[in-house]
Structure 1
Amino acid sequence: MAHVEDRWMRKKRGPDGKVEYDAKGKPVLERHPERYGRGKRWRLRYYVDGSERNESFVRKADADNRKDEVAADLLRGTYIDPNAGKVTFFKQAEEVVENRTLDPASRVKMRERLATHVYPVIGSAELGMLSRRPSLIQKVVKSMESGGLAPKTIEVIMAHVRLVFSVAIDDELIVKNPVKSSTVKLPKVVSKKLTPWTEDQLFGVADVLPERYQATVDAGSGLGLRQGEIFGFGPDDVDWLRGVAHVRRQLKLLKGGPLVFAPPKGGKPRDVPLAESVKVALSEHMRRFEPVEATLPWVKEDGKPTKVRLFFSNTLGRQVHPGTFLKVWHRALVDAGVVPKLAAGEKRDLVHREHGMHMLRHYFASVLLTEGESPKAVADWLGHSDGGVLLLRTYAHLMPKSEERMRMVIDGALRRRGSLSDGPDTAHGLIG
């Protein structure tokens, strides 16, 4: 049983030690000599698994509401000890980051985002208190908006915060996830329509790249590979007879500079059909630039050394460093007229950043979808794990539309309504 008691007042007792009553038969109350005016006045006491628990409140109404809540939770078997939520957000978040199945680079990035944008606002606050006050979570969002973060970046960071609270619920530390409250509003992400490169842009960039890198354009636009996958791709990953490219790894740059080999994004290898033109381009590239052997750690800096033959190498005969290649790529974009030349001291703006190597991947997807290829198949070749949902959001405006087919389908469906059986004029009557 749960009951609420008044910590400030007590029943008055007479000289004989018995409780005194007023004319209405109610106990006479007097101030408690030690507790009156100190701390919260109302205390809820109840038992869980034979042990007494208590919570204090300023208002009696709050204590009574909590009493009803506790009684209902105990009845349903969903009771959670309020003391469990005294863990700080920082402590819980760090445990989540440490125990989450992530590659080292993603772990570093997640911790970095939380430390920079979330911990300064709510890091020292207790989970229990935060779960009851979604307005404090909105404060985190407002802080990031004020700091100039893009809506998409805020969305990613708040996904981390949501995860921390979700794990806390699973661990029975709190009951509710405050990020899911209607009080918490994220800035609207306005999706910009993707404009793939034209053939002239694609071939123009390929033509002005140094010869040893020109086949990267064929690998990206012909196989849909990401930048890291291109530089982690080798001749032993190709089934030349069957015409299949096995995407097994990527070359990844970890925080702080070390290079490692790692699984493709999402951790899942995939097979991509190898078009004859891409096969020829890779074969010609190997004839002119012999594949190089590279030995790098697997996934993390102290990971197992992994030896791989690579298609692409730098002028020193080593694996390509993404940071160094970025300068080569940007020079090619300027020379091909895709982006304007930067003035001395000028930093790359959004226009320049939008034309990274991922434009090759976009070209691959857009060509296939425009020609009517199945979105599910394209998603598989790109390595999307959502069955094509992201693909459709990104490329739907590029997919072919058949107005004549649409008319035929609708006509066929509406004829079954029987409207045409009454005569040739009835169909016109439907719209007249």
Structure 2
Amino acid sequence: MGHVEDRWYKTLRHSGGRRERVKTELFGKGLRYRVRYIGPDGKERKKSFPDRAKREAEAFLVSTESDKLRGSYVDPKAGRITFGEYAENWLRTRSFDESTRESTEFRVRKHLLPFFGAEHLASIKPGHIREWDARLVGKLAPATRAVVFAHLRTILGAAVDDERIAKNPCSAKSVKPPRPVQRRVVPWRYDQVSAIRGGLAQRYRPMVDLGAGCGLRQGEILGLGVDDIDFDGGWVHVCRQVKLVRSRLVFGLPKNDRDRRIPLPDSVALVLRQHIDDFAPVSLTLPWEDPATDERVTVPLLFTTTRRGAINRRTFDNKSWRPAVVAAGITPTRFTGMHALRHFYASSLLDAGESIKALASYLGHADPGFTLRVYTHLMPASEERTRNAIDNLFRGDRWR
């Protein structure tokens, strides 16, 4: 059992049992009270408190002994590592694919380390989290703030798991996580999609058909091989994408690391057959996931540059997609990228009565609930269907 030691006084025992409390040579110097206790590992621990803080010292001792009994004890020294040191170690040991690692490293080093980097983990309190987030309001978009906050919460959660700190300050009731503004998806009309398609070079036009007619993401379209298309069965197998990692192109798994099969409409199949006749697939070899790896994958790609190379999405967006959007009379924004073709696809399927579960599967969403939240306002209104169903049921003289 631990005890509280008064370093400014000591008790002398005289003959006959008399005790005398006298000042020590440390009187008036430094911290007065020192809590001594045995940690779960059997080693002695100490923590000092100033004059007039005996109650705080005793409370600390009681709390520590209780934590030991509950198995929730955390060594105070463990939290002395700086956030910057711990965050860098977390980045090094965390399991990411390389594209996610790159973006996470950028956000942590740009938005977290300047504020928290020099702070000891144990010294970070909910108030620091609130102050940090308040400084970012107006400087970062709400969606970006939400992502960076998630990184912070995950890092501090890992510190709890590693028994560096007792609890995660991001989980305090007074800390309100930033939430991205829920933007209502407004799908493009068919004539707008058609106009954008017409504004692209002929070799790139079928990319629009795959986005608007099959719901593929841009990277999935760029990574599609001729062997991934089952013309006879009517399926597209999405099993890879082309990604930009540390300024180099690589092949990688689709988002959420899940491949999927998507129904191939006859109209899209016809366009793809013609594209293959006009622009023969080019077998290209790229690293898999990490540019530094020795693993290489060769794919006969459907879409390549005029120089028969893999397409860099940034170059394509700036030199091909954006000019086509402008030519179609649409003002370019962060919402007018190729991802908008997936919204067109989703709205078309929902309007035709397709289920949310099937749509989520085709889009490659891990959670159908996410699909529902994004597209629920596009689902056909049920009121008129309800009226017609009852009218058809009750039509005639059966109730007369």
The letter of the residue matching 1:311 is L
Q: What is the Cα deviation at residue 383 of structure 1?
A: 1.1
Match of 2:218 among 212, 227, 230: 227
What is the total number of aligned residue pairs between the two structures? 385
Question: Is the CA contact 2:349–2:359 (under 8 Å) kept in the aligned structure 1?
Answer: yes
2:396 equivalent in structure 1: none
1:332 equivalent in structure 2: 324
1:113 equivalent in structure 2: 107
Using the aligned pairs only, state the percent identity: 41
> What are structure 2's unaligned runs of at least 5 residues?
391-400
Question: Distance between the aligned counterparts of 1:214 and 1:158, measured in 2?
Answer: 39
Q: For residues 78-136 of structure 1, give each alpha carbon's deviation from its aligned partner in whole angstroms, at most 9, with x where no partner exists.
A: 22211112222112211221222211121121111111111111112111222xx2111
Does 1:96 find its partner at 2:90? yes
For residue 266 of structure 1, give the secondary structure of its aligned residue in structure 2: helix
1:267 equivalent in structure 2: 257
The letter of the residue matching 1:2 is G
1:143 equivalent in structure 2: 135
1:352 equivalent in structure 2: 333
Does 1:300 find its partner at 2:294? no
Q: Aligned in 2, Cα 1:243/1:408: closer, same or farther, shift over 3 Å?
A: closer
Question: Distance between the aligned counterparts of 2:116 and 2:86, measured in 1?
Answer: 12
Q: Aligned in 2, Cα 1:301/1:39: closer, same or farther, shift over 3 Å?
A: same
Question: Distance between the aligned counterparts of 2:82 and 2:174, measured in 1?
Answer: 22
Q: What is the Cα deviation at residue 404 of structure 1?
A: 5.1
Q: What is the Cα deviation at residue 318 of structure 1?
A: 1.7
Does 1:289 find its partner at 2:279? yes
Q: Counterparts of 1:57-136 in structure 2 under 5 Å?
A: 57-58=49-50, 59-130=53-124, 133-136=125-128
Question: Distance between the aligned counterparts of 2:388 and 2:62, measured in 1?
Answer: 62
Question: Is the CA contact 1:370–1:398 (under 8 Å) kept in the aligned structure 2?
Answer: yes
Match of 1:198 among 186, 189, 200: 189
Question: Distance between the aligned counterparts of 2:127 and 2:221, measured in 1?
Answer: 45
Structure of higher RCO (CA pairs closer than 8 Å, 6+ residues apart): 2
Question: Is the CA contact 1:98–1:107 (under 8 Å) kept in the aligned structure 2?
Answer: no
Q: For residues 161-183 of structure 1, give each alpha carbon's deviation from its aligned partner in whole angstroms, at most 9, with x where no partner exists.
A: 11111111112222101011122
1:414 equivalent in structure 2: none
Does 1:310 find its partner at 2:301? yes
Q: Aligned in 2, Cα 1:186/1:77: closer, same or farther, shift over 3 Å?
A: closer
Question: Distance between the aligned counterparts of 2:73 and 2:85, measured in 1?
Answer: 23
Question: Distance between the aligned counterparts of 2:99 and 2:16, measured in 1?
Answer: 72
Q: What is the Cα deviation at residue 295 of structure 1?
A: 0.9
Q: What is the Cα deviation at residue 405 of structure 1?
A: 5.9
The letter of the residue matching 1:282 is L
Does 1:176 find its partner at 2:167? yes
- TM-score under structure 1 normalisation? 0.84
Question: Distance between the aligned counterparts of 2:180 and 2:283, measured in 1?
Answer: 43
Q: What is the Cα deviation at residue 409 of structure 1?
A: 11
Question: Is the CA contact 2:126–2:170 (under 8 Å) kept in the aligned structure 1?
Answer: yes
Question: Is the CA contact 1:121–1:139 (under 8 Å) kept in the aligned structure 2?
Answer: no
1:382 equivalent in structure 2: 363
For residue 333 of structure 2, give the secondary structure of its aligned residue in structure 1: helix
Match of 2:346 among 365, 379, 403: 365
Question: Distance between the aligned counterparts of 1:406 and 1:31, measured in 2?
Answer: 90
1:30 equivalent in structure 2: 22
The letter of the residue matching 2:355 is S
The letter of the residue matching 1:142 is A
Question: Distance between the aligned counterparts of 1:393 and 1:276, measured in 2?
Answer: 30
Question: Distance between the aligned counterparts of 1:89 and 1:171, measured in 2?
Answer: 13
Question: Is the CA contact 1:238–1:245 (under 8 Å) kept in the aligned structure 2?
Answer: yes
Q: Aligned in 2, Cα 1:32/1:408: closer, same or farther, shift over 3 Å?
A: farther
For residue 287 of structure 1, give the secondary structure of its aligned residue in structure 2: helix
Question: Distance between the aligned counterparts of 2:388 and 2:196, measured in 1?
Answer: 43
Question: Is the CA contact 2:34–2:49 (under 8 Å) kept in the aligned structure 1?
Answer: yes
Q: Aligned in 2, Cα 1:183/1:18: closer, same or farther, shift over 3 Å?
A: farther
Q: Aligned in 2, Cα 1:110/1:18: closer, same or farther, shift over 3 Å?
A: farther
Q: What is the Cα deviation at residue 150 of structure 1?
A: 0.9
Let me know the Cα RMSD of the aligned residues.
2.1
Question: Distance between the aligned counterparts of 1:279 and 1:19, measured in 2?
Answer: 102
Q: Aligned in 2, Cα 1:88/1:273: closer, same or farther, shift over 3 Å?
A: same
Question: Is the CA contact 2:146–2:179 (under 8 Å) kept in the aligned structure 1?
Answer: no
Q: What is the Cα deviation at residue 406 of structure 1?
A: 6.0
Q: What is the Cα deviation at residue 45 of structure 1?
A: 1.3
Question: Distance between the aligned counterparts of 1:391 and 1:63, measured in 2?
Answer: 54
1:396 equivalent in structure 2: 376
Question: Distance between the aligned counterparts of 2:388 and 2:24, measured in 1?
Answer: 87
- TM-score under structure 2 normalisation? 0.91
Question: Is the CA contact 1:151–1:186 (under 8 Å) kept in the aligned structure 2?
Answer: no
Does 1:52 find its partner at 2:44? yes
